[in-house]
């Protein structure tokens, strides 16, 4: 898997969210550098778990839709004397 990278704007938004969380939930200030460091840690160490979960969820949606598509194709199939 490739390294998870965020644009400058995305990274800024995410670090602000971390800073807000620390202030609101933990009553702890989190400086910009520390928030970026923490974001990098989460991305490197935990990002793969979230990425893989997203892929698994997407695969389940695809599988479900393929089953529906197979049913739709079967429903329009014309009867013949051939055996499948």
Enumerate the domain spans of the chain.
8-76
pLDDT at position 55 is 94
Mean pLDDT of 65-69: 90
Instruction: Note the Cα 11 to chain centre separation in Å.
Output: 16
pLDDT at 29 over 70: yes
Report the distance separating Cα 23 and Cα 35, nearest Å.
12
Determine the Cα–Cα distance for residues 22 and 5; give it in Å rounded to an integer: 23
Measured CA to CA, the distance from residue 56 to residue 40 in angstroms comes to: 24
Choice between 82 and 7, residue whose per-residue pLDDT is larger: 7
What CA–CA distance (Å, rounded) separates 23 from 19? 6
What stretches of the chain show up as alpha helix (H) in DSSP? 8-26, 32-45, 47-76
Mean pLDDT, to the nearest integer, of 64-69?
90
Q: What is the mean pLDDT of residues 33-54?
A: 93
């Amino acid at each position: 898997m490739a390294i998870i990278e965020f644009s400058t704007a995305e990274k800024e938004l995410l670090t602000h969210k971390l800073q807000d969380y620390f202030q609101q939930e933990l009553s702890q200030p989190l400086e910009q550098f520390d928030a970026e460091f923490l974001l990098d840690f989460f991305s490197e160490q935990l990002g793969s778990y979230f990425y893989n979960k997203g892929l698994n969820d997407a695969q389940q949606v695809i599988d479900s839709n393929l089953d529906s598509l197979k049913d739709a194709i079967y429903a329009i199939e014309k009867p013949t004397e051939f055996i499948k």
